[in-house]
Amino acid sequence: MKKLLQSLFVLVFIAFTAVAQERTITGVVTSQVDGLPIPGVSVRIKGSPGGIVTSSNGKYSLTVNSKSTGLEFSYVGFISQTVSLTNTNVINVSLQSSSRDLDELVVVGYGTQKKGSLTGAQGSVSSSDIQNTPILNPQQGLQGRVAGVQVTQASGTPGGGISINIRGASSISGSNQPLYVIDGIPVNTGSYTQVGAGGQLTNSLGDISPSDIESMEILKDAAATAIYGSRGANGVVLINTKRGLNQNTKIGVNVYSGIQEVAKTLPTLTGPEYIQLMNDAVNARYGGTANYSDSRIGGGVRSANPNDYPTTNWQDLIFETAPITNYEINARGGNDKTKFAISSSFFDQKGVVIGSGYKRFSGRLNLDNQATDKLKLTLSTSFSSSVNNRLNNDNNINGTVSGAFLLGSHVPAYNANGTYGRDAISSVDNPLAGANENTFKFYSNRLLASGGAEYKFTPELTFKSQASVDYFTSKDRTFLSTLTNAGSGSGGSATEGQNQEVNYIFDNTLNYAKVFGGIHSVNLLAGFSYQESNYENILASATGFPGNDIRRLSAGSVRTTATSGGTSNALESYFARANYSYKGKYIFQASGRLDGSSRFGSEKRYGFFPAVSGAWRMSEESFLKNVKAISDLKIRASYGIVGNQEIGNFTSLPLVGGGSNYLQNPGLAPTQLGNVNLTWENTAALDLGLDLGLFNNRLTLNVDVYQKKTSDLLLGKPLVGSSGFTTIQSNLGKTENKGLEVALTGVIFNKKDFSWTTNFNISLNKNKIVELSGNPFAAGFASWVEAGQSLGAFRGYRVLGIFQSAAEIAASPVQAVTASPLTSTAPGDIKFADLNGDGVINSLDQEIIGKGVPTYQGGFTNNFKYKNFDLSVFLQYQGGNQIYSNTRSFGEGMNSVFGQLATTLDRWTPTNTNTTVPRAVYQDPNNNRRVSDRFLEDGDFLRIKNVSLSYNFGPKVLNALKVSAIKLYASAQNLYTFTNYSGLDPEVSTFSVTNTAPGTDFLTYPQARTYTFGLNLTF
Amino acid sequence: MNLDMRTYIKYKYLTYLFAASAVFSSCKKELEAQKPQASLDAAGAFTNVASVRAGLFGVYNSLQSGNYYGLQYNAFAELGGGNLIHVGTFPTYAQIANNQILTDNVNISDMYNTIYNGINNANTMIAAVPNITDAALDKDATLAELRTLRGLMYFDLLRYFGGSNDGYGKANGVGVSLKLTPTLTESDATPIARNTEAQVYTQILADLDFAIAAPTFANRITNRAGKDVANAIKARVQLYREQWAEAEALATTVIGSARYSLLTTANYGNIWAAKNSAESIFELDYNSADQNSIAFYYYTTAAGGRNEISSSNALNTAHEANDVRQAINFTTVAPLSKTRKFTRIATGDDNVILFRLAEMYLIRAEARVRQGSAQKIADGLADLNVIRVRAGLTPLVSVSQAAVLTAILAERRIELAHEGHRWFDLRRFNLTSTLGISQAYRALYPIPQREVLTSGNIIAQNTGY
């Protein structure tokens, strides 16, 4: 059949050419790396369309005629090669791998550059790095792969928020997220939901199907990002999607399916143990015979007998094993005129917490057409549509994960009559109610489209113009059922919101590249860009529904909210870059961008962002050229000024806002003080780098040290509240990030049947708030923003131990003293440190106790290949950070009616004195629960992020099945995490994407452990 | 054909270039064209009658905030005063319930900032009104309404943050910063050192007297401040200042206007069940499109609330037998231990009564008794008995001045329960120690720590904190 097919190709070919004097050329295409034959290599006659591909053993056979001059061999990941035809009929070709090649073109801002001539710091992730891993969005693909890029998945919430900091966080109130540019389109990112869930946000970049990604380039230093000017300070992620190839159409079908489960649960008290704790706590507070039945903790009649209560393991009820599936079909092909890539995928993930899930459909079409010798047209379009079933969580008494911990285990899941069990004296809802009864959906649709034209005036001078649109629209739809606490009071409550953001981008660049006399290589770029973003939203809600069956606003009897809004911004930019290389040895680059933004104050509307950089490729020097071991040695330096314009729209204007209504009359009130000098945040970035390649680049090392000094931070300069305003937006404050990045790759073994490659990266970042306008301030639950400290520092009291006797309390600094011993410090309470030594424990006795951002982090990948098997093991790690467990602050608080963790069994009692857990006392008069190092834990972890084993079927099977490649794989994501952290997951941020309060855990949806099986088929 | 095609493309391309250059030149305009869509430029926002009226309602909107009358201002006076207990989850509420307020208590900070925000809104409008030339605006009446509200807001600040450890109107009482001009720019926001309590009263009285004297300032619907409201506020101010005769006279003015009447014993609950009853002098309006969370904070979760606060047993047991108010102040039907004064949990539109006739009787009762003569004590007792009888209780018979005062305080606790008086009454009677407070300075709430720090101590913290 294969032969028949080939013959068919040949026949067709003959039919097209229809010229006499034919002959057949045969040969084998092998890889220069390992000498093995490469199947699927595209072989065609130079200047002709069509062509064939090599068979599974790398062989080809092609008929040529007398006009044919040469054969072209091309294959992904290898450098294309053209061989001139001679008299011989056998042409064997050895293709050179492109992956490590210094002549390889890499994508940079507004263009491409030869890897060897880069002067900036930039890392990259290719599609092969992330294949076989069930990642849900582009950001996850960056995690642990590139030095200096810290990716924090805030929670396991399907479709939930994810934070990326490149070389540390520099902004306090603006955004610290990088600029994402997809196929040249700077896209809208962040969360678009208008309905809060307690902590977790949504991630609009989840609309990008990871399987469409060809590569991601991460621009880190000013040399690389200054071309993006006022948006370059947080780094830039350039995402390039798969484009068509000059090959016969190849159809790929990729499917994976698997299950997800929670890796860990936390033991809680049983129902009877909980009641016993409550009896102890109430008695400690009210004395006498007071116990859980006491009316002072809430009305109604309750038994205080522990044996009257059941035990409900809420975690067993809310966590489930959930399926995850992804289907993708793609086709890539084309000829020398027109190339295309189309793909379509469907992703379906149920959450490991009941009631949650995420589905995404996406499609893409990328087209390239060489209209004339000089004019090339490109089109990149993608559409995606997703549905997110959300849940309340984190800081939310109606949450599912939160309810599972905050509601005591003494409450039955269901009452005898089938209604949800509840605790009459607790405000926490049954965690099953919200998950089962509510509607909480977030729909998003996104169209990314860009059309471009490239015109070569001369081989050196190219003009490129691209017009793009990023159209994002989302819809929130919620209904709080009358069967839940949140909906029962209002007779059902529905909220529907819709918003859209449309970005128009118009980019024009002129590029001149020429090598003079083989010595002076010049690459010049000048460009103009205009971008406008328009956001609109509408939100309406109603209460009072006729039951829970009709959930649309039209059925609500009380219309409570009807609001809409709109905002916009525009950015006008001029930019240029000049790159000069002398003999490929000495490379200089200068770039600059002038940005005018509607966001800036009228006096500071335009900002200029320059960068200069240089590199010395010492390996090209005569004194190193003969050192065989050193294949590449380059040192780099760059310095530049980049900005952050993510300061919000119209923050510079003095405003009077509507909506301050009264008596159904319209009301107006001042809302914002103006600042005509308001402008971008400014970052001066210095980078020194070293690239070393040894043994024909079998071992490569990249080292960068950097320093980023950010000034003019956008901060609400505090005003006295008695002025009527609390802040005025100003450019104040300074931060600094310093760091070291090391990336090491190596081919450890490279034998015919066995190869082992490894990739290790580590980055260290030290963040410091250098200057802060006004007072230090608290953020989150335990975070603290203060000059001299790291952004994301924790502040609180220090625990010395537990008071064992009244005498010890009397001899210690005063904590809580009232007229009654029942509301005063007692044995079993925590002894806090009197840090200022004034004999009283008060707010002055707090200090910085840790930080939520890691000191070091990175990843370690090992790929093994044995015959047809591939094994990839990817480890991710971070350390030096702490986690503030607000979960424990509640779960070990023993001060209220909340469910308690099993750790409280070790609470202090007169007979259990050797413990670190204080006594149980209702209302906690000593405030044992205050923010202290008691709830602070080390956040270091090493995670086996992914292990995947794949098998590539050999020629026998392929021939039998008549396909060109089959790969089967099994993969485990988040397989195991080594950590001392006691909570569900050490990679956590209850505040989703946050600058000031990272590393806080409060009843956050944990990440799942995922096992998937996949099949990749190529026809 | 190929050639034609190329030529065509070239021309198309040139056209494209021209189009591009046209776009270049229009970009600058586009930067300027981006304007806020839901806000006005502050300059020139209040230059016509419609916007000034909207600005006036904007001041009422400040009163409605959950940080102010929309919940916390009144609830904290009840929570700190022992009429409410804290059964919910907010640690900052617990501080108030335990009378152990920290200077960084965010609810206290929010309350302080919200009231001053309302004052700035009023200041902005008071400055804007004189510039309106359109005769459609009654400038005097508008100013009178604005100044009445400003007077109320300054008084409300004093009640929590000012005075002395042993009450109000004493020598050396501390006040709050008096800011009477709008904050339009950063330089207007310079910290102002706290004025004395007496200075703040002088300003409050100037505002109220302006309103009372404004000829065209009439009474309006119950939901807006009119002349009676100005008199009622002033009556309360004078009571706090211990200007007994003044307080008596002002209460008499309101009572004597005969525009308000006490609801009957049987209809007592209708003061809240029905909105804007005959008894109400000034009632803050809420409706389904403009809600508050008061019932939500009270109600149990089973009833759809967040169960943050409950009526205390102490309040319950303070009632005499057969008092119709007991069932209103301490519910015995679900939701238990709450109040019938705030019940509209589904629609969030319980009105908040700021002044009602019963308080005027109680003000006059106390003002009369405090004046000490036998006649005044008897007259005061008569006022007290109006309230007692209406509540279904027997009248008190003549007893000593001290005993009547104690009875009045007890009556105020029951009659005005959940309405934000208890803490201030205990302060006025210098009885905060009965709450178990051993540190007398806690009678005054702390000035928010943020305010003290931001001002560089120009705005001084209350003693003790």
CB contact under 8 A, A558 and B186: no
Tokens of A851: 């930080």
Least confidently predicted of A14-18, A510-514, B341-345: A14-18
List pLDDT tens digits, range A634-672.
999 999 999 998 888 898 999 999 999 999 999 999 999
**pLDDT, average across residues B430-444:** 93
Q: What share of chain B is helix, strand, coil (3-state, %, to 5)?
A: 55, 5, 40
CB contact under 8 A, B58 and A669: yes
| Among candidates B33, B57, B89 on the partner chain, residue whose Cβ is nearest the Cβ of A665 | B57
Minimal-distance CA residue of chain A relative to B185: A673
| Among candidates A560, A717, A725 on the partner chain, residue whose Cβ is nearest the Cβ of B289 | A560
Beta-carbon contacts of B25 under 8 Å, excluding residues fewer than 6 positions away, are none
Quote the CA–CA distance of B24 and A483 in Å, as a whole number.
Answer: 58
| Among candidates A570, A650, A670 on the partner chain, residue whose Cβ is nearest the Cβ of B124 | A670
Residues of B in contact with A566 (CB under 8 A): 37-38
CB contact under 8 A, A662 and B289: no
Q: Are strands A882-885 and A1000-1001 parallel, antiparallel or unpaired?
A: parallel
pLDDT of B16 over the 80 cut: no
Give the domain ranges of chain B.
49-182+193-217, 286-350
**pLDDT, average across residues A702-719:** 93
Residues of A in contact with B300 (CB under 8 A): 299, 424
Minimal-distance CA residue of chain B relative to A507: B20
Most A CBs within 10 A among B35, B63, B145, B300, hence the mutation to make, goes to: B300
- The three-class DSSP label of residue B117 is helix
Give the H/E segment covering residue A5: helix A2-17
List pLDDT tens digits, range A946-977.
999 999 998 888 889 888 889 999 999 999 99
pLDDT of residue A716: 84
| Among candidates A488, A653, A673 on the partner chain, residue whose Cβ is nearest the Cβ of B41 | A653
Quote the CA–CA distance of A55 and A61 in Å, as a whole number.
Answer: 9
Quote the CA–CA distance of A704 and A761 in Å, as a whole number.
Answer: 11
Cα–Cα distance list, A512 to A582, A587, B13, B53 (Å):
16, 17, 19, 63
| Among candidates A560, A654, A718 on the partner chain, residue whose Cβ is nearest the Cβ of B291 | A560
CB contact under 8 A, A725 and B179: no
CB contact under 8 A, B57 and A662: yes
Beta bridge partners of A44: A72
| Among candidates B23, B58, B451 on the partner chain, residue whose Cβ is nearest the Cβ of A668 | B58
**pLDDT, average across residues B307-314:** 93
- The DSSP secondary-structure symbol of B211 reads H
Work out the pLDDT band at B363, boundaries 50, 70, 90. very high
Beta-carbon contacts of B179 under 8 Å, excluding residues fewer than 6 positions away, are A722, A723, A724, B116, B119, B120, B123, B192
The secondary structure of A581-607, three-state, reads EECCCEEEEEEEEEEEECCCCCCCCEE
Minimal-distance CA residue of chain B relative to A816: B100
- The three-class DSSP label of residue A103 is coil
Tokens of B189: 């926001």
Residues of A in contact with B5 (CB under 8 A): 372
pLDDT of residue A16: 43
Tokens of B169: 């109107």
List pLDDT tens digits, range B170-190.
999 999 999 999 999 999 999
Beta bridge partners of A564: A538
Quote the distance between the C-alpha of residue A342 and its chain's center: 25
Quote the CA–CA distance of A529 and A227 in Å, as a whole number.
Answer: 11
Beta-carbon contacts of A230 under 8 Å, excluding residues fewer than 6 positions away, are A571, A593, A595, A597, A607, A609, A642, A643, A644, A645, A680
Quote the CA–CA distance of A920 and A928 in Å, as a whole number.
Answer: 10
pLDDT of residue B12: 55
List pLDDT tens digits, range A464-490.
999 999 999 999 999 999 999 889 888
Average model confidence (pLDDT) across chain B: 93
CB contact under 8 A, B54 and A666: yes
| Among candidates A560, A596, A721 on the partner chain, residue whose Cβ is nearest the Cβ of B113 | A721
CB contact under 8 A, A660 and B42: no
Quote the CA–CA distance of A398 and A400 in Å, as a whole number.
Answer: 7
Residues of B in contact with A426 (CB under 8 A): 301, 307
Q: What angle do CA A136, A138, A140 make, to 5 degrees?
A: 65
Spatial contact of B132 and B47, defined as CB atoms under 8 Å apart: yes
By percentage, how much of chain A surpasses pLDDT 90?
Answer: 69
Tokens of B450: 């943020």
Work out the pLDDT band at A18, boundaries 50, 70, 90. very low
Work out the pLDDT band at B28, boundaries 50, 70, 90. low
CATH architecture of the region B49-182+193-217: Alpha Horseshoe (1.25)
Work out the pLDDT band at A97, boundaries 50, 70, 90. low
Minimal-distance CA residue of chain B relative to A721: B113
Highest mean pLDDT among A10-24, A285-299, A373-387: A373-387
Minimal-distance CA residue of chain A relative to B465: A842
CB contact under 8 A, A455 and B13: yes
* Å between B122 CA and nearest CA of chain A: 9
Spatial contact of B384 and B404, defined as CB atoms under 8 Å apart: yes
List pLDDT tens digits, range A745-794.
999 988 888 999 999 999 999 999 999 877 788 899 999 999 999 999 99
* Å between A566 CA and nearest CA of chain B: 6
* Å between A975 CA and nearest CA of chain B: 37
Number of A–B residue contacts, CB under 8 Å: 307
CB contact under 8 A, A667 and B177: no
The sheet with strand A793-796 has its strands ordered as A777-779, A783-785, A793-796, A847-851
Q: What angle do CA A249, A252, A256 make, to 5 degrees?
A: 170
Minimal-distance CA residue of chain A relative to B36: A567
CB contact under 8 A, A543 and B60: no
**pLDDT, average across residues A297-308:** 90
List pLDDT tens digits, range A188-202.
888 888 888 777 778
Cα–Cα distance list, A598 to A467, A653, B77 (Å):
20, 11, 47
Quote the CA–CA distance of A542 and A555 in Å, as a whole number.
Answer: 8
* Å between A819 CA and nearest CA of chain B: 6
Q: Which residue has the tokens 């507070």?
A: A285
Residues of A in contact with B289 (CB under 8 A): 559-562, 661, 664
List pLDDT tens digits, range A412-453.
999 999 999 999 888 899 999 999 999 999 999 999 999 999
| Among candidates B35, B313, B346 on the partner chain, residue whose Cβ is nearest the Cβ of A491 | B346
Work out the pLDDT band at B15, boundaries 50, 70, 90. low
* Å between A537 CA and nearest CA of chain B: 11
Work out the pLDDT band at A8, boundaries 50, 70, 90. very low
Spatial contact of A177 and A644, defined as CB atoms under 8 Å apart: no
Q: Which CATH superfamily is domain A2-95 in?
A: Carboxypeptidase-like, regulatory domain (2.60.40.1120)
By percentage, how much of chain B surpasses pLDDT 70?
Answer: 94
Tell which residue, B248, B365, B347, B244, has the closest CA to residue B294.
B347
Q: What is the ipTM of this complex?
A: 0.92
Q: Count of CB atoms within 10 A of residue A22's CB?
A: 14
Quote the distance between the C-alpha of residue B218 and its chain's center: 22
| Among candidates A428, A655, A721 on the partner chain, residue whose Cβ is nearest the Cβ of B39 | A655
Q: Count of CB atoms within 10 A of residue A760's CB?
A: 16
pLDDT of residue B25: 55
pLDDT of residue A739: 96
List pLDDT tens digits, range A492-524.
999 999 999 999 999 999 999 998 988 899 999
Quote the CA–CA distance of A212 and A240 in Å, as a whole number.
Answer: 9
pLDDT of A50 over the 70 cut: no
Position A298, amino acid: G
pLDDT of residue A786: 94
List pLDDT tens digits, range A141-173.
899 899 999 998 888 888 888 889 999 999 988
* Å between B238 CA and nearest CA of chain A: 24
Position A827, amino acid: P
Cα–Cα distance list, A257 to A328, A968, B224 (Å):
12, 12, 65
Quote the CA–CA distance of A217 and A241 in Å, as a whole number.
Answer: 12
Average model confidence (pLDDT) across chain A: 90
| Among candidates A453, A506, A669 on the partner chain, residue whose Cβ is nearest the Cβ of B121 | A669
List pLDDT tens digits, range B236-290.
999 999 999 999 999 999 999 999 999 999 999 999 999 999 999 999 999 988 9
- The three-class DSSP label of residue A888 is helix
pLDDT of residue A922: 93
More confident residue, A205 or A980: A980
Residues of B in contact with A817 (CB under 8 A): 438
Cα–Cα distance list, A807 to A284, A818, A841 (Å):
18, 17, 17
Tell whether the torsion through CA atoms of A777, A782, A788 and A790 is positive or negative. negative
pLDDT of B11 over the 70 cut: no
Tell which residue, A176, A352, A114, has the closest CA to residue A714.
A176
Quote the CA–CA distance of A291 and A589 in Å, as a whole number.
Answer: 76
Tell whether the torsion through CA atoms of B62, B66, B67 and B69 is positive or negative. positive
Tokens of A652: 């510079």
Spatial contact of A35 and A4, defined as CB atoms under 8 Å apart: no
| Among candidates A570, A572, A719 on the partner chain, residue whose Cβ is nearest the Cβ of B454 | A719
* Å between A331 CA and nearest CA of chain B: 30
Position A83, amino acid: V
- The DSSP secondary-structure symbol of A96 reads P
CB contact under 8 A, B36 and A724: no
| Among candidates B303, B337, B459 on the partner chain, residue whose Cβ is nearest the Cβ of A722 | B459
Quote the distance between the C-alpha of residue A360 and its chain's center: 17
**pLDDT, average across residues B381-410:** 96
Q: Kindly report the backbone phi and psi dihedral angles of residue A183, in degrees, each rounded to the nearest multiple of 5, phi listed first.
A: 50, 40
Spatial contact of A445 and A474, defined as CB atoms under 8 Å apart: yes
Most A CBs within 10 A among B5, B17, B27, hence the mutation to make, goes to: B27
pLDDT of residue A195: 87
Minimal-distance CA residue of chain A relative to B305: A489
pLDDT of residue B2: 44
* Å between B88 CA and nearest CA of chain A: 7
CB contact under 8 A, A721 and B109: yes
Q: What angle do CA A720, B181, B73 make, to 5 degrees?
A: 55
Tell whether the torsion through CA atoms of A977, A978, A981 and A986 is positive or negative. negative
Cα–Cα distance list, A640 to A224, A250, A609, A874 (Å):
10, 44, 7, 34
CB contact under 8 A, B9 and A375: yes
CB contact under 8 A, A656 and B39: yes
